[in-house]
Amino acid sequence: MKKVYVKSFHALSALSEAPDLKRYVSPIDARRMSSIMKKIVVTSMEALSKAGLETPEAVIAGTGLGCVENTEALLMSLSGVSGKPLRPTDFMQSTHNTIASLIGIRTHSHGYNVTYSHHFLSFESALMDGWLRVASGKCSSALVIAAEETSEVLAAMLAKIGYDGSAGSDTAVSIVLTDSPEGALCELESVSLTAPKEGESYVDRSEIAAKYGENLCVTALGACDAIEKIAAGGSSRIIIFNRPPFKEGCATVRFSALCGN
C-alpha cells in the first residue's frame, strides 16, 4: 500500500467571505445552479489549481442531503404548495450525485465518479474511498468533495424530530489526494469507521460544529483546519473523531506531518 498525501484543499463555510463566482461560473450557468453547487465549483477549481492539476483521476463526493434547495423546489412544485410550475433544472439537480457529476464534466474527468450519501458519515466514506484508491495504486490523484446545505424549511423539519437545525450552515470542501509527497501539505495516515484507540487525543465533532454550525458534513471543515495546522507546523498529528449525535456509527481520520517536517 502506498502512502497518501493531501496536496491541496479549499473550503467555504458560514465563516468564509463570499467567493468570487465570476472566475469559474458564468452568469448564465449561475442562474441554473443552486448555492451549494456554485460553492463546490469554486472550491474544486481552487483546490485543483493549488495542486497544479487540471483533471483528477477520480472525483468522489460525500453529501448527506444533496442539493436541498433544488429538492425542496421540486417537492413543493409537485405538491402544489409553491404554486409554481415544475422546472426540469430542479428535477435534474435534486439527485445526490449531481455535484460529483458536475465537477467531473467541468474537469473532463471521465474516470471514477462516485457519491456517498451516508448521513453523518458521508464525508468520511468519500475520504476513505479516495484514500483506498490512491493507496492501492488504482489512481494517483483523487478529488474528494464534501457538500451540505441547509434551509429554513429543513431546519423546521429537523426541529420536529428533536434535532437543532437552527444552527445549521453550509459546507463546501474540496481536497486533492495524491500518491506523491512532493509539495504535499500533510499525509492522510488513515480513515476508519471506528473510534480512536484508547489513549489517543482527538478533535471531536462537537468542537467543529460549535465553530461552524451543525450539518451532516461539518467534519470536513475540521479536517481542513487540521491539514492547515499541520502544514503550518503547528502539530505533527491530528485525529478527527466523528461521533454523530444520533449514534449511527462513528469515523476516525488521522492526518500527520510529512517525514522530515
Range in 42-51, 174-183, 212-221, 243-252 with the lowest mean pLDDT? 243-252
The answer to the question of residue 124 being in a domain is: yes
The answer to the question of residue 35 being in a domain is: yes
Residue 43, burial from CB neighbour count under 10 angstroms (0-12, 13-18, 19+): buried
* Rounded mean pLDDT, 158-162: 73
The answer to the question of residue 154 being in a domain is: yes
The answer to the question of residue 222 being in a domain is: no
Is it the case that residue 160 has pLDDT exceeding 60?
yes
Is it the case that residue 74 has pLDDT exceeding 70?
no
Is it the case that residue 165 has pLDDT exceeding 70?
no
For position 156, what pLDDT does the model report? 76
Percentage above 70 pLDDT, the chain: 89
CA atoms of 254 and 234, how far apart (whole Å): 15
193 CA to centre of own chain: 17
* Rounded mean pLDDT, 232-258: 93
Predicted TM-score (pTM) of the model is 0.90
The answer to the question of residue 242 being in a domain is: no
Report how many domains make up the chain: 1
First-last CA distance in the chain: 22
Split at pLDDT 50, 70, 90, the class of 203 is: very high
Return mean pLDDT, the chain. 89
Is it the case that residue 162 has pLDDT exceeding 90?
no
For position 33, what pLDDT does the model report? 82
Higher pLDDT, 119 or 245: 119
Higher pLDDT, 212 or 86: 212
Split at pLDDT 50, 70, 90, the class of 176 is: very high
The answer to the question of residue 24 being in a domain is: yes
Range in 1-15, 68-82, 184-198 with the lowest mean pLDDT? 68-82
The answer to the question of residue 52 being in a domain is: yes
Q: Is there a contact between 144 and 130 (Cβ–Cβ < 8 Å)?
A: yes
* Rounded mean pLDDT, 23-27: 87
CA atoms of 212 and 17, how far apart (whole Å): 13
Please report, as a single letter, which amino acid is at residue 28. I
- Domain range holding 20? 5-185
The answer to the question of residue 46 being in a domain is: yes
Percentage above 90 pLDDT, the chain: 62
Higher pLDDT, 171 or 246: 171
The domain that holds 52 is classified in CATH as 3.40.47.10
At residue 244, what are phi and psi to the nearest 5 degrees? -55, 150
Is it the case that residue 172 has pLDDT exceeding 90?
yes
